[in-house]
Structure 1
């Protein structure tokens, strides 16, 4: 089969012919039609991710047709068009992933290939209102955003939410979840066109985080009920002042520095703020997300679609932070 293979740190993604995966019991072989990039793929290519191994087929998101299953009892999946939940072996504790948890695309080969194997329990039917490219864009980023917004922050109708660094895959799903939950949405970005696009989608307002005194320009009366952050860095310290008493601040990444800056702890306890870390999501989160997607007929925001042979070009687009929404790779 054809696959996009990464042979080492800082090497380009290249098309190669490799063996098709061999199934075990309770696994399915999915012929991938479309896959989607995540920031995770970029960090693995840069060598800035735990558990690196090479060669590796990247890709956590994918959608396609089930061609084979490892057990006769699961034969009803054969021929079905499915999307993949890339969060494998979450475990029994809803509050946190177990020690066997892993994400498709490292350590095991991922979706940037004609075929991928996946536990049958991680298969979900593609909603009727979605194309296969749209279905492929949802899983990792949508799930990460869902857990941050609802399972962690418990966003409620009418609450004010700030999304920092809008434009990336997870942030655009946070934007969509919050809008469809009837929250009042504000955004920051380093590029004016991304703020405009967010407002076109339904955000109330946005500011450039490069502007002087940007927190004063964006803060609504009373502050924010929820702040969702994916970059950390020095700007995180502003969230303490931007949050209203009882506010919830959730973060799930560290694209700016990877570390929390020095924070004013007195404001945190006096305002009774919650600072919450979040990673991916559980099967319950994924099921709730898909129920929400089907109820509201939500389509993901897709920045661009690239052929398999142009995967390296696609990941460089992510490197330049040019995208608004998901970058998709068409496999077939």
Structure 2
């Protein structure tokens, strides 16, 4: 089969022929129609991820057709259009992943290939209203956004929600999912164009997080502070989120693209009775509930650009530059 192979740190992805995997007992072989990029792929390429091993096939997100079945797999799955849950071996505790938890695309070979083999219980029916390119964008970002918004933060209809750094895949899915559940959503970005695009999707408004006192300005614009804040940056700007949070509010963050939080004014947390929550990926139940919400709400994820598999390195560079609004997708087979 054809696959994009990463041979080492800071090396470009190379399209080459590699052996097609054979599904083990309990597994299915998925012929991928499309795969989608995540920042995780760029971080692995740069050597900024634990458990590196080379050569490897990146890619956590994918959608395709079940082509072959391993021993013991229900024959009804053959030929089914599916998306793949990227989070494997969560463990028995729904509150936190276990030591065996891993993400498709490292250490296991990923979806930037014509075929991938996974355990049968990690494939779910592709939402019928979505193309393969659209469906391929869902798994990793969707599970992350769903767990952060609902399993961890417990967002309900009518709450005022702030999503920071809109434009990336997880933030956009968080926007769409919380709107689908009836929340009032506001956003931040360093790009006026991305804020406007988020408003076109249903956000009430937004602010440039590089502006001085943006939290006070946005809080006034929104008519009050935020019940829930969903963040992926952390870093020095985290203190502004404490100011923007309503008394009794929840701040949930699923990443730290701006690094560790340097200094926190503790009294703002305890006096305002805030809950600060961490979140990573999602359980198999989170994923199933997420897919159900996508189907029920007819959610259509935002696709920034579709590349041919052979142009995967160009897609990686676009992601690294951070210019995209929505997901970057590789079309693998028609």
- Pair in the same fold by TM > 0.5: yes
1:306 partner SS: strand
Q: For residues 64-79 of structure 1, what are the structure 2 equivalents within 5 Å?
A: 64-79=64-79
Gaps of 5+ in 1: none
Alpha-carbon distance between aligned partners in 1 of 2:191 and 2:224, rounded to the nearest angstrom: 26
Unmatched tracts of structure 2, length 5 or more:
none
**Cα deviation, residue 144, structure 1:** 0.3
Alignment of 1:127-142 (within 5 A): 127-142=127-142
CA–CA distance in structure 2, aligned partners of residues 161 and 261 of structure 1: 24
Counterpart-to-counterpart distance in 2, 1:282 and 1:267:
32
Residue in 2 that maps onto 1:115: 115
Could you state the TM-score of these two structures normalised by the residue count of structure 1? Answer: 0.98
Instruction: Give the CA deviation at 1:286.
Output: 0.8
Deviation, 1:73, is 4.1
CA distance in 2 between partners of 1:304 and 1:38 (Å): 13
In 2, the alpha carbon distance for the partners of 1:222 and 1:299 equals: 30
Structure 2 matches for 1:113-262, cutoff 5 A?
A: 113-219=113-219, 220-257=222-259, 259-262=260-263
Q: CA contact under 8 A between 1:237 and 1:261: conserved in structure 2?
A: no
Give the secondary-structure state (helix, strand or coil) at the position aligned to 1:110.
coil
1:43 and 2:12 matched: no
Residue 274 of structure 1 corresponds to which residue in structure 2?
275
1:52 maps to 52
1:8-37: CA deviations, max 9, x gaps?
111111101111112211111111010000
Write out per-residue CA displacement over residues 131-168 of structure 1, whole angstroms, 9 at most, x where no aligned residue: 11111110000110000000011011111111111000
Count of equivalent residues: 331
* Aligned residue in 1 for 2:99: 99
Partner of 2:302: 301
For 1:141 and 1:322, the matched residues in 2 are separated by 18
Quote the residue 2:32 is aligned against. 32
Q: After the TM superposition, which parts of structure 1 deviate over 3 Å for at least 4 consecutive aligned residues?
A: none
TM-score (norm 2): 0.97
Residues in 2 aligned to 1:214 and 1:28: alpha-carbon distance in whole angstroms = 49
Deviation larger for 204-213 or 165-174: 204-213
> C-alpha separation between the residues in 1 aligned to 2:295 and 2:103?
24
Deviation string 1:75-104 (CA, Å, 9 cap, x unpaired) is 221111111001111112111111211100
C-alpha separation between the residues in 1 aligned to 2:274 and 2:151? 16
Partner Cα separation in structure 2 for residue 307 and residue 291 of structure 1? 29
Q: CA deviation at 1:228?
A: 0.6
